[in-house]
Structure 1
């Protein structure tokens, strides 16, 4: 019994157990890190696509335009706020148009 206790508490056996435990922990850390990086990459891709879809330039690419008052450069969102004969700038996906208001609708 004394021999068993001495052998089970030997420095060599303790070091072997510690090395084995360390190897297991390194494997767990590596696996966990890879999983976290994969998950974060997926989230980043999703957020990138969402951000891209909300981009004003992408909105213009879909055929929308942004109209601004030529003097104040404020965005026009209400036809009632624009005077007849006023100058406006219309931003398109490719280029810009300078226009004169001749009629309002809505």
Structure 2
């Protein structure tokens, strides 16, 4: 006799604190700092402002490493910065956004 199909339960991953901190000492050049204890892999940054050079490929960002995002040509009241990365622990891609 056939048995009813029971979908297998796949637990959601545990909560994960976003590793990024943004220092806005210079609003046109915010520093993005990896505050995690682990590196972030294949990090990409996207600027949503319609200007040139909208995508930056950062590669691996180590713990405590800081990288500057140049927003000189952007309207600081309108620009949105998106950071995407992979985590070594689970291989998943994460995305986080901030405004200048």
- TM-score where L is the length of structure 1: 0.23
Larger strand share, 1 or 2: 2
Normalized per residue, the structure richer in helix is 1
* Bigger-Rg structure (1/2): 1
